[in-house]
Amino acid sequence: MQNGPVTNELLPVSAAIEGGVLSVGGAPLPRLAEEHGTPLVVYCERTIREAARAYREAAPDALLVYGTKAFPNVAILRLLAEEGFGADVSSGGELELARRAGIPGERIVVHGNNKGDDELAAAARLGALVAVDALDEIERAVAAGVRRALVRVTPGIEADTHEAIRTAHHGSKFGLPPHDAIAAIGALRDAGVDVEGVHVHIGSQLLHLRAAGMTVEWLALFSARCRAELDWTPRTIDLGGGLGVAHVPDEAPPSIAEFVAAVSGELARAWALERLEPPRLVLEPGRSLVGRAGVTVYRVGSIKRASEATTYVAVDGGLSDNPRPALYGARYAALLANRADEEPGEAYAVAGRHCESGDLLIERVPLPEPRRGDLLAIPATGAYTLAMGSNYNAVPRPAAVLVADGAARTIRRRETMDDLLALEQG
């Protein structure tokens, strides 16, 4: 039994509650909080490896690359490289992290709707695959020495997710409409670039299979059009990332196996229908690899009854380590990591520490009456949390640890006051 509306599906696979104490990877969270301070993002190694293996099992021949932006971290990139993953990067910084993790260029895909010449040159030096995203990128990519490319196309499909993380609709800032994508493929080939295929990423936090299936079907028709107009067909189909994770009990995403079976089944069917050569599949999962693996542990501070309807439980982080509730209205669940077996009482609002009324991590969550000093754990915070963190209010960003077999390893150290001051001049 555990409090808050937290079900096992929201927690890392190694999570356990004993004597009211929540542990991850055999490490009790109160011990980790003591040793590493709070807020602390605790990643379960087993959850990440199991997710990676689920992708590999479902798509044994695919090139699997980690959507680095979900949590750009060298240790995680290395761990995933051990599982056979490469990296999808969207900036020179992410490319550098992948390089430091020892990922070879042939397993790196470089994205971005506005890549710099320096970023294109770095991609070219590593021999990475560049997803060309604009017509005016072609000349710059060629000049930078890019030899291998995909062309990113926008199929005009509206994925059923938050509009800020939808990317393949008509009018998207990403990719090229079909006509321009065909022109780009032709121009790149004329310039001697090996265009290996096409890329589509329809959106993130997808909880249904329909849009992904429709996209694959659309791509088969697009590939047939390429054959007719260019006498060229894609050898590679990169479907991006997108599979969602559950942050609250009423979100029920398909499993990795279901998601991959749906897209690869549709790929086989639609390709056969158009009499196209079966392509190599590339998948770029981010959130579905690391989202469930991460639990953020906060220390409870002030508790305030603000009105008849609302009692705030304030924690020592917030917007600076997880801006998703403020940005997307993202919902989370929570439990008290040190009193995890107590019955929840009334519902509380979990407020962050920042000077911003919108700094509310959870609007309402039932908890046992919280006390100052309790540890509040928010599950499913491994993706797009620290990755999008900030130093708002000059608050240092938290540390992240990776746990397995009862041992925790710091994979990102906590920022210090000196880190904050390091950029100041005068």
Which residues are annotated as catalytic?
A: 355
CB closer to ligand LLP out of 49 and 111: 111
CB closer to ligand LLP out of 32 and 87: 87
Contact status, residue 175 vs residue 130, Cβ threshold 8 Å? no
Contact status, residue 313 vs residue 270, Cβ threshold 8 Å? no
Which tokens hold the place of 206?
A: 């997808």
Contact status, residue 118 vs residue 91, Cβ threshold 8 Å? no
- Find the shortest distance in angstroms from Cβ 238 to ligand LLP: 8
Whole-Å CA distances, 323 to 85, 119, 189, 337, 385: 28, 27, 42, 22, 7
- Using alpha carbons, select from 239, 328, 240, 248 the residue that is nearest to residue 292: 248
Three-point CA angle 101, 293, 164, nearest 5°? 85
- Using alpha carbons, select from 199, 191, 197 the residue that is nearest to residue 144: 191
Q: Does 86 participate in binding ligand LLP (rule CB under 6 A)?
A: no
- Find the shortest distance in angstroms from Cβ 149 to ligand LLP: 14
Stretch that binds ligand LLP, among 71-79, 201-209, 272-280, 311-319 (CB under 6 A): 201-209
Which helix (H) or strand (E) element contains residue 63?
strand 63-67
Contact status, residue 286 vs residue 67, Cβ threshold 8 Å? yes
- How many residues sit close enough to ligand LLP to count as binding (CB under 6 A)? 22
Which of 16, 74, 126, 165 binds ligand LLP (CB under 6 A)? It is: 165
Cα distance between residue 78 and residue 76, in whole Å = 5
Q: Does 111 participate in binding ligand LLP (rule CB under 6 A)?
A: yes
Which of 28, 241, 317, 382 binds ligand LLP (CB under 6 A)? It is: 241
Stretch that binds ligand LLP, among 198-206, 265-273, 368-376, 404-412 (CB under 6 A): 198-206
Q: What is the number of the residue whose Cβ is closest to ligand LLP? A: 241
Is the dihedral angle over the CA atoms 92, 98, 99, 101 positive or is it negative?
Answer: positive
Q: Does 384 participate in binding ligand LLP (rule CB under 6 A)?
A: yes
Q: Does 204 participate in binding ligand LLP (rule CB under 6 A)?
A: yes
Q: Does 254 participate in binding ligand LLP (rule CB under 6 A)?
A: no
- Find the shortest distance in angstroms from Cβ 37 to ligand LLP: 25
Q: Does 166 participate in binding ligand LLP (rule CB under 6 A)?
A: no
Cα distance between residue 415 and residue 206, in whole Å = 33
Which of 72, 197, 242, 398 binds ligand LLP (CB under 6 A)? It is: 242
CB closer to ligand LLP out of 2 and 322: 322
Cα distance between residue 282 and residue 62, in whole Å = 6
CB closer to ligand LLP out of 283 and 300: 283
CB closer to ligand LLP out of 36 and 287: 287
- Using alpha carbons, select from 240, 169, 171 the residue that is nearest to residue 199: 240
Which of 36, 324, 354, 412 binds ligand LLP (CB under 6 A)? It is: 324
CB closer to ligand LLP out of 162 and 225: 162
CB closer to ligand LLP out of 69 and 397: 69
Longest C-alpha distance within the chain, in Å? 69
The SS3 assignment for 402 reads strand
**Residue carrying the six token digits 């056969």:** 272
Which of 28, 175, 234, 285 binds ligand LLP (CB under 6 A)? It is: 285
Which tokens hold the place of 393?
A: 């209010």
Q: Does 286 participate in binding ligand LLP (rule CB under 6 A)?
A: yes
Which tokens hold the place of 186?
A: 């032709």
Which of 3, 205, 215, 236 binds ligand LLP (CB under 6 A)? It is: 205
Cα distance between residue 299 and residue 103, in whole Å = 37
Using CB under 6 A as the binding rule, the residues of this chain from 32 to 71 that contact ligand LLP are 67, 69-70
Q: Does 321 participate in binding ligand LLP (rule CB under 6 A)?
A: no
- Per CB under 6 A, residues contacting ligand LLP are 67, 69-70, 88, 111, 165, 201, 204-205, 240-243, 284-288, 324, 328, 384, 388
